[in-house]
């Protein structure tokens, strides 16, 4: 029925991951995904897992309830013109209520770290649910202490003191509070285009009009220019720590990044014009997530941290999307910048989708919270700790950090070939499985591809069986952040789908 170019079969482990000997599956492919013609229909890799048959409400009834009983903002954020009705998941796969299978390249917004319903994590949750569902940290239940020790072992000294929360927004709220208490200062600086949560305090850190309401919130937060070497005023072809660089020409002398110098000058101007002489904190993601996998010049954070500390501030790394090995080269995104923050916040992948977050800091900064009483009912509850502990085990046993590095690098390298092929693909960037593909009208202008164009490609990719995300200031960047169990075979399937979708869009112009 279909004309198909297929890769050689891959050996699989029981977890659904490729064995280490099969990581270079692309080398045995008969054809590169880049060479798919307009008549080829990509075929999804096989999966032996059989989902349960959906026997719930009709799609029409579900949407009726969503419109009537759910806050209307949920309709505003529903992906796709024809919504996907998800029923079940396993590892990198999702099934809708009609039994159709999708390759999940967004992982519930970079949240499902080791795989949907990962057997080890599921077993840990089931066992804990039979033992103790809930108690609070006013009691010493073993799971919290055991998990905090395990998590601390993954962080460098002196980042060893942990407070467990329910979400990334709560973790970032708490980090703001601790920074202000510890320094005695108030003002906090973040990047334009950043996203650090939607709570009343965290929304001040967030710098994107889509998330802003016309009310006072997050007082004392100031945004500085994001050192975006693709869309920003300065950038070159050697700026970022990524296997793929921008297409912008670079005129820098060896050993010097002029773009970095210009962006640091902008930060210095912010210090001179927009905040007091003493500040509380500098809050950044190692790679912007919602902002569209934006990366900074290689030495930017190192220089920025020095300037912040000279002004009495602490440096906070938001690892909600970059943590737990997703960037491939390191367990934490900040390590790729060769910096040591004073506070690290995390969530999402920490619990593989179970609601959980954490703030990790030094003993000195942690002590500032003892000036009052801070309490959370659900943070660090027994089920959350059991799940999070099993996630750390699965990351190690499944070698998901290596998967992120190898499959992610392959994906970006192949996507760069598509960038060179199509004028509307302006930039490919990222590290590991934190990838952004920025769509433009054309490379010369770098103007964002209009929303309707992005939506056409987005919908087409979904209709061929792949789910990915969107981000960026103008919603122009496709976000590829799959569960870290994705295989090379899956990567080739996506590349074929994306190639065809872009081709289809241009054919319709």
Q: ∠ at Cα 139 (137, 144), nearest 5°?
A: 50
Tell me the per-residue pLDDT of 80-118, one tens digit each, with 9 for 90 and over: 989 999 999 999 999 999 999 999 999 999 999 999 999
- CB-based burial, 145-169: b 16+ in 10 Å, e otherwise: eebbeebeebbeeebbbbbbbbbbb
- What value does the mean pLDDT take over residues 46-52? 95
Q: Would you list the domain boundaries of the chain?
A: 20-104+399-508, 179-309
Q: Above 50 in pLDDT, residue 148?
A: yes
Query: What DSSP string runs through 148-171?
Result: HHHHHTTS-TT--EEEEESSHHHH
Angle at 99 between CA 93 and CA 103, to 5 degrees: 20
Give me the mean pLDDT over the 154-162 stretch: 98
pTM: 0.91
Mean pLDDT of 163-171: 97
Q: Which residue has the higher pLDDT, 226 or 216?
A: 226
Measured from the Cβ of residue 445, the count of other Cβ atoms closer than 10 Å reads 9
Measuring CA to CA, how many Å separate 418 from each of 109, 412, 414, 458? 24, 10, 7, 16
Answer for the pair 195, 290: CB distance below 8 angstroms, yes or no: yes
DSSP type of residue 19 = P
pLDDT the model gives residue 399: 98
Rounded to whole angstroms, the Cα distance separating 35 from 418 reads 10
Q: Is the pLDDT of residue 36 over 70?
A: no
Angle between the 400-421 and 382-397 helix axes, to the nearest 10 degrees? Answer: 70
Q: Which two three-digit tokens encode residue 496? A: 């074929």
Q: Is residue 16 scored above 80 in pLDDT? A: no
Tell me the per-residue pLDDT of 375-419, one tens digit each, with 9 for 90 and over. 999 999 999 999 999 999 999 999 999 999 999 999 999 999 999
pLDDT classification of 320: cutoffs 50, 70, 90: very high
Does residue 43 register a pLDDT over 90? Answer: yes
Q: What pLDDT is attached to residue 19?
A: 35
The answer on pLDDT for 76 being more than 60 is yes
Q: Average the pLDDT over 55-77 and give the result.
A: 91
Record: fold of 179-309: 3.40.640
Local confidence band at 39 (pLDDT 50, 70, 90 cut-offs) = low
Q: What integer pLDDT is reported at residue 254 of this predicted model? A: 84
- Using CA atoms, how far residue 182 sits from 223, 280, 290, 338, in Å, is 22, 8, 29, 24
Provide the mean pLDDT of the chain. 91
Asked whether the predicted pLDDT for residue 1 surpasses 90, the reply is: no
Fold of 20-104+399-508: 3.90.1150
Phi first, then psi, for residue 188 (nearest 5°) are: -130, 135
Element (H, E) at 326: none
- Pairing of β 357-361 and β 477-480: unpaired
């Amino acid at each position: 029925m279909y004309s198909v170019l297929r890769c050689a079969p891959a050996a699989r482990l029981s977890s659904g991951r490729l064995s280490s000997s099969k990581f270079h599956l692309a080398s045995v492919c008969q054809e590169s995904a880049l060479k798919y013609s307009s008549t080829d229909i990509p075929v999804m890799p096989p999966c032996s897992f059989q989902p349960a048959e959906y026997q719930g409400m009709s799609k029409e009834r579900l949407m009726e309830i969503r419109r009537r009983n759910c806050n209307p903002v949920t309709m505003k954020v529903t992906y796709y013109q024809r919504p996907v009705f998800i029923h079940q998941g396993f590892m990198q796969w999702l099934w809708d209520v009609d039994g159709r299978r999708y390759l999940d390249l967004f992982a519930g917004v970079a949240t499902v770290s080791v795989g949907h319903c990962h057997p080890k994590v599921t077993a840990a949750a089931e066992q804990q649910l039979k033992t103790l569902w809930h108690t609070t940290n006013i009691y010493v239940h073993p799971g919290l202490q055991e998990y905090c020790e395990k998590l601390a072992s993954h962080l460098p000294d002196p980042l060893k003191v942990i407070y467990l929360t329910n979400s990334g927004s709560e973790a970032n709220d708490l980090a703001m509070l601790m920074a202000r208490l510890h320094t005695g200062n108030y003002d906090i600086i973040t990047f334009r285009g950043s996203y650090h949560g939607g709570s009343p305090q965290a929304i001040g850190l967030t710098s994107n009009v889509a998330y802003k309401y016309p009310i006072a919130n997050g007082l004392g937060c100031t945004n500085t220019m994001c050192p975006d070497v693709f869309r920003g005023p300065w950038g070159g072809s050697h700026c970022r720590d990524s296997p793929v660089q921008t297409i912008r020409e670079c005129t820098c002398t060896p050993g010097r990044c002029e773009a970095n110098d210009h962006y640091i000058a902008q930060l210095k101007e912010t210090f001179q014009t927009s905040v007091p002489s003493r500040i509380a904190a500098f809050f950044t993601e190692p790679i912007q997530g919602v902002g569209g996998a934006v990366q900074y010049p290689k030495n930017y954070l190192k220089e920025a941290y020095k300037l912040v500390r000279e002004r009495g501030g602490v440096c906070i790394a938001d690892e909600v999307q970059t943590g737990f090995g997703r960037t491939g080269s390191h367990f934490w995104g900040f390590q790729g910048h060769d910096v040591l923050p004073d506070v690290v916040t995390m969530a999402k992948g920490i619990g593989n989708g179970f609601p959980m977050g954490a703030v990790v800091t030094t003993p000195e900064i942690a002590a500032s919270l003892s000036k009052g009483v801070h309490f959370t009912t659900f943070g660090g509850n027994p089920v959350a700790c059991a799940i999070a502990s099993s996630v750390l085990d699965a990351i190690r046993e499944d070698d998901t950090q290596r998967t992120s590095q190898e499959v992610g690098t392959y994906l970006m390298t192949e996507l760069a070939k598509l960038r060179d092929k199509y004028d509307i693909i302006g930039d490919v960037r990222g590290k590991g499985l934190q990838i952004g593909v920025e769509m433009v009208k054309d490379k010369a202008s770098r103007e964002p591809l209009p929303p309707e164009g992005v939506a056409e490609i987005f919908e087409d990719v979904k209709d061929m069986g792949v789910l990915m995300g969107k981000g960026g200031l103008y919603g122009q960047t496709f976000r590829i952040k799959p569960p870290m169990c994705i295989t090379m075979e899956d990567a080739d399937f996506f590349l074929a789908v994306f190639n065809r979708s872009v081709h289809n869009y241009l054919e319709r112009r």
